[in-house]
Amino acid sequence: MYNSKITGLGFYVPENVVSNDDLSNMMDTNDAWIQERTGIKERHWIEEGSEDTSAVMGAKAARIAIEKANLTKDDIDFIVFATLSPDYYFPGCGVQIQEMLEMQTIGAIDIRNQCSGFVYALSTADQFIKTGMYKNILVIGAEYHSNGLDKTTRGRGVSVIFGDGAGACVLSRTEDNNKGILSSHLHSEGKYADKLIVPSPSIKNWVPEILASNGEDISYFPFMDGTFVFKHAVVRFSEVIMEGLTANNLTPNDIDLFIPHQANLRISQFVQRKFKLRDDQIYNNIMNYGNTTAASIIIALSEAFEKGKIKDNDLVVLAAFGSGFTWGSVVIRW
């Protein structure tokens, strides 16, 4: 069995910054409410007319990650792409990356696990490397939320939270069994699928319904029972972090950097208090990006690394919770 380690990181967010005040011109909301309830100050939203999509942003982040790994596109054996906002209902964004980066006809899969998407994607890639099947895997998380949000007061409980962006890493085989991904822990609880969901388009609700609805059918917008999701998030985050630490005979004290999925600053702060983590043991950037779902952890990881917050041998813990419900953690010795 081999270990896998992250050898290159990159992220891309659209230039267009949307402040909380900008949102208050679109709907009945305000900067004070958004900052107090979520910690978000601004997010990046793709501008109308831009070429950016989840796949395009993912490709931009991927090019940086491959370069930082000192590899070329031809060294990549496989693509794992996590998103809930793919360019097409099918095919997935993974195959678009293969084409956009002019790669060989390597395999590509999409992971549909929403906020836990990157954790699931990283874990999936890790298994392929552990078994020796692949050496270098491109793992991408990208979301184009802004075009699918209800930007009226009706949708304010959801739409102020989400941002667009992409992050990518190259996961590579290492012979050093003490380094890289130590373990990953994945969970789901489908009975709560309807608490955070975009019900349409679905095979049950298809083109005739879209045409008939004249924009009044809200099943095309994300729905979230925010309070319900929040309560489950804090419990599941805590459980899955402990699960990861216990599996490796570690304690919260051993964490050098914890990167939670950026769902809500209040959730991150709850977890920080619960595990008595110092400010330098946790990295949050939701203030500037909002919740970018499958992209949030990999954008935060790339940014933290760029800022020199991760050193060789550090213990880095990633954890996520979101729609499904799904949740998971990955424990990494850098």
Query: Pick from 263, 295, 300, 319: which binds ligand UT7 (CB under 6 A)?
Result: 263
Within its chain, how far is the Cα of 332 from the centroid? 17
- Per CB under 6 A, the segment of 91-99, 200-208, 260-268, 303-311 that binds ligand UT7 is 260-268
Query: Pick from 3, 4, 7, 29: which binds ligand UT7 (CB under 6 A)?
Result: 29
Q: Which of residues 37-56 bind ligand UT7 (CB under 6 A)?
A: 37-38
* Residue 145 near ligand UT7 by CB under 6 A: no
CA distance 242 to 20: 35
Map residues 309-328 to x or -, x wherever contact with ligand UT7 holds by CB under 6 A.
Answer: -------------x------
Nearer to ligand UT7, 75 or 225 (CB): 225
Nearer to ligand UT7, 160 or 271 (CB): 160
Structure tokens at 73: 């596109």
For residue 285, give the H/E element and its range. none
Least distance from ligand UT7 to the Cβ atom of residue 80, Å = 20
Name the 3-class secondary structure at 141.
Answer: strand
42: Cβ–Cβ under 8 A, 6 or more apart, which residues?
17, 18, 19, 20, 287, 288, 290
Query: Pick from 33, 223, 270, 334: which binds ligand UT7 (CB under 6 A)?
Result: 33
CA distance 111 to 326: 12
Active site residue 261: yes
Active site residue 291: yes
Name the 3-class secondary structure at 194.
Answer: helix
Query: Pick from 59, 69, 79, 233: which binds ligand UT7 (CB under 6 A)?
Result: 233
Within its chain, how far is the Cα of 160 from the centroid? 17
* Residue 157 near ligand UT7 by CB under 6 A: yes
Least distance from ligand UT7 to the Cβ atom of residue 261, Å = 6
Catalytic residue among 115, 145, 169, 232: 115
Nearer to ligand UT7, 248 or 288 (CB): 288
CA distance 117 to 331: 16
Q: Angle, nearest 10°, between helix axes 296-306 and 117-130?
A: 80
Within its chain, how far is the Cα of 334 from the centroid? 20
Q: For residue 306, how many C-alpha atoms fall within 13 Å in the half-sphere facing its CB?
A: 14
How many CB atoms neighbour CB 295 within 10 A? Answer: 37
Q: For residue 130, how many C-alpha atoms fall within 13 Å in the half-sphere facing its CB?
A: 13
- Per CB under 6 A, the segment of 27-35, 76-84, 246-254, 275-283 that binds ligand UT7 is 27-35
Shortest Cβ contact with ligand UT7: which residue?
Answer: 226
- Per CB under 6 A, the segment of 83-91, 94-102, 153-161, 180-188 that binds ligand UT7 is 153-161
CA distance 63 to 55: 12
Query: Pick from 66, 121, 182, 267: which binds ligand UT7 (CB under 6 A)?
Result: 267
Residues that bind ligand UT7 (CB under 6 A): 29, 33-34, 37-38, 115, 156-157, 160, 226-227, 229-230, 233, 263-264, 267, 291, 322
Active-site positions read 115, 261, 291
